[in-house]
């Protein structure tokens, strides 16, 4: 896979991968998320994501949604701790329409107070829905436990109390202070020539004024392991165990991705799925996640099951952690794990929307994107000794924290 890049005079970067497909994908990712909010702005980045669909200087909400839907396309968005992204999927002949729409909603939204009032209620419903999903809520609560009192630990949605205070001037101020052209990447995957794409991007996004970030995010406070148990009116127990892990710039992150995939990745043959579910029948659902950020990261294991099996399940998890820390992977085990991870990455890349979003994130953070061949070479270089060293650092029982709903 080859890609082409270009940088506008205002600092907005463009990355494009031309593929022979009738469907194209275009998005803009920005290096601002919920972590960049002040205490009184909790939920503002996610609120901004919602509000860009609610009206611009020349469009009402209906016309924004219909602009791509009328030609069979889709437009969507998401917010994370460190990014905001808006993207569209459409037939390739509608590139111009998608480019113009993205620029309009991201740089000319009006944030009318009437629409702000309506959208507050929508997001409050979204927040309340989490309380009915303990398997989702526990991840937010665990991050808040690990990053106690820090903006990166707060949930992305905000709270009904914080949302109730938002006004038009608050949103305008937040956007002005936090969205910078030198931290914006436009990413495209579709069948269009690069010169033609650049022409369309420059026509609309070239008019955006240059704005560079001049403030730094607050640093991460020292981590202190902690265990917590919360009483919940649920049939099952829910448990998450984890530790601080490597950030996005740590060379060991790919090794940790491999280790995480072995512990509880998407495959049905992961260590925890085989022991907790297949061998013992303790848990129907188990998974592990590695979430790297710009200057920190989290590795976590989650499982749910009958409350009477909670302690046995914890012992199984700890036993698997001990095995990874004490016994070096054999050649066949390591080779199998590498093939599995590489296969998952390759399959994911076949989905052009997923590929577009991955390219956008990588180019935003690293100013480059590794193709499948480069990724395969890096995975092949990982040794059993490295995996064991990573396991001993990240899975050390002394440094693990836990949160249990029971």
4-205 and 227-405: identical CATH topology: yes
d(CA 156, CA 391): 29
Pick the CATH number of 4-205 from 1.25.40.10, 3.30.830.10, 2.160.10.10, 2.60.120.200: 3.30.830.10
What pLDDT shows up at residue 215? Answer: 84
**Mean pLDDT, the chain cut into blocks of 10 residues (406 residues total):** 93 98 98 97 98 97 97 98 98 98 98 95 94 93 97 97 96 96 98 98 97 90 97 94 98 98 96 96 96 98 97 98 98 98 97 98 98 96 98 98 98
Domain boundaries, the chain: 4-205, 227-405
What pLDDT shows up at residue 125? Answer: 94
Pick from 197, 203, 183: nearest CA to 26: 197
Query: Residues 67, 103: contact at Cβ < 8 Å?
Result: no
What pLDDT shows up at residue 5? Answer: 98
Query: Would you state the structure tokens that stand for residue 62, as one six-digit string?
Result: 């209906």
What pLDDT shows up at residue 115? Answer: 96
Give, as one character, the DSSP assignment of residue 276: I
Pick from 190, 213, 180, 186: nearest CA to 202: 186
Determine the Cα angle at 332 with ends 327 and 335, to 5°: 105
Which residues are paired to 164 by β-bridges? none
What pLDDT shows up at residue 1? Answer: 64
Structural class in CATH, domain 227-405: alpha beta
What pLDDT shows up at residue 218? Answer: 86
Q: Which long-range contacts (CB under 8 A, 24 or more apart) does 275-281 make?
A: 275/316, 275/319, 275/320, 276/303, 276/305, 276/313, 276/316, 276/317, 280/312, 280/316
């Amino acid at each position: 896979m080859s890609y082409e890049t270009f940088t506008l005079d205002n600092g907005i970067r463009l990355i494009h991968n031309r593929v022979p497909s009738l469907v194209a994908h275009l998005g803009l990712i920005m290096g601002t998320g919920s972590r960049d909010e002040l205490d009184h702005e909790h939920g503002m980045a996610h609120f901004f994501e919602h509000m860009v669909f609610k009206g611009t200087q020349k469009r009402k909400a209906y016309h924004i949604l219909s602009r791509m839907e009328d030609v069979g396309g889709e437009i969507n968005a998401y917010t994370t701790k460190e990014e905001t992204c808006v993207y569209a999927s459409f037939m390739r002949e509608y590139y111009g329409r998608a480019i113009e729409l993205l620029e309009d909603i991201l740089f000319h939204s009006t944030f009318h107070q009437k629409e702000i009032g309506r959208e507050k209620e929508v997001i409050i419903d979204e927040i309340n829905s989490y309380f009915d999903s303990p398997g989702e809520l526990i991840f937010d609560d665990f991050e808040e436990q690990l990053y106690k009192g820090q903006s990166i630990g707060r949930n992305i949605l905000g709270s009904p109390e914080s949302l109730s205070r938002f006004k038009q001037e608050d949103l305008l101020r937040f956007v002005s202070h936090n969205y910078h052209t030198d931290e914006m990447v436009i990413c495209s995957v579709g069948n269009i020539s690069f010169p033609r794409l650049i022409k369309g991007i420059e026509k609309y996004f070239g008019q955006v004024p240059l704005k560079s970030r001049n403030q730094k995010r607050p640093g991460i406070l020292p981590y202190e392991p902690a265990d917590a148990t919360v009483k919940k009116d649920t049939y099952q127990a829910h448990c998450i165990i984890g530790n601080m892990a490597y950030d996005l710039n740590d060379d060991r992150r790919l090794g940790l991705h491999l280790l995480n995939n072995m512990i509880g990745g998407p495959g049905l043959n992961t260590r925890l799925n085989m022991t907790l579910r297949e061998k013992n029948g303790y848990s129907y659902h188990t998974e592990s996640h590695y979430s790297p950020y710009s200057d920190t990261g989290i590795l976590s294991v989650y499982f749910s099951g009958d409350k009477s099996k909670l302690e046995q399940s914890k012992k199984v998890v700890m036993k698997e952690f001990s095995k990874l820390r004490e016994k070096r992977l054999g050649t066949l085990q390591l080779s199998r794990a590498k093939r599995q991870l590489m296969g998952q990455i390759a399959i994911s890349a076949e989905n052009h929307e997923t590929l577009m979003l991955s390219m956008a994130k990588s180019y935003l953070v690293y100013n480059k994107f590794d193709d499948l061949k480069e990724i395969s070479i890096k995975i092949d270089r990982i040794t059993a000794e490295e995996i064991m060293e990573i396991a001993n650092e990240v899975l050390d029982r002394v440094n693990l924290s836990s949160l249990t709903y029971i």
